[in-house]
Amino acid sequence: HAAEKGGYEHFMLKEIHEQPKAVRDTISPRIHENEIDLGEIGMTDEEIKNLRKISIVACGSAYHTGAAGKYVIEELTRIPVETDLASEFRYRNPIYQENSLVIIVSQSGETADSLAALRDAKAHGCKVLSIVNVVGSSIARESDAVLYTWAGPEISVATTKAYSCQLAVFYLLALKFAQIRSAITPDTFQTLLTALKQLPDQIEGLLSQKEKIQFFANHYLATEHIFFMGRGIDYAISMEGSLKLKEISYIHSEAYAAGELKHGTISLMEEGTLVVALATQDALYPKTVSNMIEVKTRGAFVMALSTKKHPDIEKYADYVLYIPETQNLFAGSLAIIPLQLFAYYVSLGRGLDVDKPRNLAKSVTVE
């Protein structure tokens, strides 16, 4: 196995480092001279213009990419999007309507609940597009169309590179739909496309900060609870950061929408409680800062993630990590990298089986 890990101690760390290439391999074949080509989805411009609703259905981390995808697609295309857990969607008698699209997201393409949701949607005559990593998997075969993520084989139970590729596919889809529907100007399209193309290099740059994150992680090996908070896309990324941590460190963690703090989670704040605050979204920045102040007042230790646009964050956080400048809609692709590394180093420091955490499976093919 040592050779397969390419010199890394674990598959997870190897796969974290493969993300620049995985994201590049996923986006570049679909970008031709400042245009996006998604011929694979087999939809006419007319069908795309007529879309009235998109339902994103998935489990686990794939669901979290859907949670982020919802913000990006709605913002750019103005098509209403609902994001659902497959195990909820399939049993709730979902409303299928004309001119709607169901998107199933799955790394393995074999997750039982996601496959069942796909079959239900198809049985109701709904068009199903899937975002899948494993070529020829059940979900890929049964969908009307597939947008493959080109992450390559993912071995570590905790997904990293497939997750990042799924996010990238959502950006491509949102941009393409927005362009066809004239929901954004050609200028905005080009600005966003340029930012999208820069993501692989920016992810690479973040990986070089790993010692800093390991140093920080080593201070939290014995902690019992960790909280992640954010608003908008930062909330979607918080959910993934929290899941990653709990999966492989066995530390209880939860993510909450920062605005919900006062509706419950604030009662758990004590002296020294670690709160990871994501504040990458410019329009929401002052709101998230006010939540940081609220938890700090109760004794929390705040580690914040933001951009250099907001250097004043140092006043409100105890420890700050900066992600490179990108478009707000794509910030999640950068913010997740330190969170993956944080989970990895906490697990490593606690001496746990990083790649094969107890009780978890890479692919859940039974109910």
For ligand G6P, the binding residues (CB under 6 A) are 59-62, 106-108, 111, 114, 157, 159, 360, 362-364
Residue nearest to ligand G6P (CB): 60
Task: Please say which residue, 114 or 253, places its beta carbon nearer to ligand G6P.
Answer: 114
Task: Please say which residue, 130 or 179, places its beta carbon nearer to ligand G6P.
Answer: 130
Task: Please say which residue, 246 or 362, places its beta carbon nearer to ligand G6P.
Answer: 362
C-beta of 115: minimal distance to ligand G6P in Å?
9
Give the pair of three-digit tokens for residue 152: 């390559």
Residue 342 near residue 213 (C-beta atoms within 8 A): yes
Calpha distance 167→233 (Å, rounded): 11
Q: Of the residues 53, 296, 356, 362, which is catalytic?
A: 362
Residue 242's nearest CA partner among 110, 314, 339 is 339
Residue with tokens 């340029």: 194
Calpha distance 140→158 (Å, rounded): 21
Residue 195's nearest CA partner among 71, 329, 19 is 329
C-beta of 170: minimal distance to ligand G6P in Å?
14
Q: H-type helices in 149-258, by residue range?
A: 161-180, 186-207, 210-217, 233-249
Cβ neighbourhood burial of 280 (10 Å; 0-12, 13-18, 19+): buried
Burial 43-65 (b: 16+ CB within 10 A, else e): beeeebeebebbbbbbbbbbbbb
Question: Angle between the 19-27 and 161-180 helix axes, to the nearest 10 degrees?
Answer: 30
Q: CA-CA distances (angstroms) from residue 283 to 148, 233, 241, 257, 279?
A: 33, 11, 22, 15, 10
Q: Is 176 among the residues known to form the active site? A: no
Calpha distance 90→316 (Å, rounded): 43
Cβ neighbourhood burial of 312 (10 Å; 0-12, 13-18, 19+): exposed
Residue 263 near residue 292 (C-beta atoms within 8 A): no
C-beta of 33: minimal distance to ligand G6P in Å?
32
C-beta of 236: minimal distance to ligand G6P in Å?
14
Catalytic residues, by residue number, are 362
